[in-house]
Amino acid sequence: MSDPSLRHAGVDLGGTPRNRNAQAESGLFGFWMFLMSDAVIFALLFAVYGTVVAATAGGPTPAQEFKLGGALVETLLLLTSSLTVGLSVLAMKYDAARRPVFAWLGVTFALGVAFLVLEARDFATMLADGAYPTRSAFLSAFFALVPLHGLHVMAGCFWMLVMGGQALAYGFDARVRLNILRLALFWHFLDVIWIAILTIVYLQGHVR
């Protein structure tokens, strides 16, 4: 009976199948632990937001401040970027040329920046309306949760620039391939968190 093969994401890292499977498995395990710890932080912030969302202290309410049109556009941008970052991984797997990988990562970067610009505009509008974090417990929880996701998106965009530099300097060796795969996992994770924000924060804010 043959030994079971380790499962991995399917990106060719070079070497024998057994060695590259083990390398991918060990290289991604720690990053999965980081994502799970990050998910715990977001879960705590969601819990805090859920308990104080009605504590507006006579100030702006969710229905008054949240613009569903902008949130839906931001959602479309992030979901599309999740597709493009996945296409960059597929290009890295099936095409040895750098151009397709760079092209898809470039599109993902542009979509991420567009998301950040729209989100910053939404925050600026809220602040102009007097919806400051110190105005109420609801706004404190909101500005603790949603901008934290935005900071993660900003970090992901910066990470893409770093990966572009690494790929230019070292090519798509095993280390660079694993780093791009980690980046893709991180970006998909941000999409999942944003869907939760859209549902729990923006959509429910208009139902109340």
The 3-state DSSP class for residue 129 equals: coil
Question: In whole angstroms, what is the distance from residue 205 CA to residue 53 CA?
Answer: 8
The 3-state DSSP class for residue 54 equals: coil
Residue 163: inside a domain = yes
| pLDDT reported for residue 117 | 97
pLDDT over 80 at 35, yes or no: yes
Residue 9: inside a domain = no
- Domain that residue 139 falls in: 17-207
User: Looking at the chain, how many residues does it have?
Assistant: 208
Question: In whole angstroms, what is the distance from residue 81 CA to residue 184 CA?
Answer: 10
Residue 3: inside a domain = no
Q: How confident is the model at residue 24 (pLDDT cuts 50, 70, 90)?
A: low
Mean pLDDT taken over the chain: 86
Largest CA distance in the chain: 70
Helix-then-strand count for the chain, H and E: 7, 0
Once rounded to an integer, what is the mean pLDDT over residues 10-37? 66
CATH code of the domain in which 169 resides = 1.20.120.80
The 3-state DSSP class for residue 201 equals: helix
Once rounded to an integer, what is the mean pLDDT over residues 118-138? 93
Question: In whole angstroms, what is the distance from residue 196 CA to residue 204 CA?
Answer: 11
Residue 61: inside a domain = yes
How many structural domains comprise the chain? Answer: 1
Question: In whole angstroms, what is the distance from residue 133 CA to residue 14 CA?
Answer: 50
- The answer to which of 5-14, 76-85, 182-191 has the lowest mean pLDDT is 5-14
Can you read off the two tokens belonging to residue 16? 């024998």
Residue 10: inside a domain = no
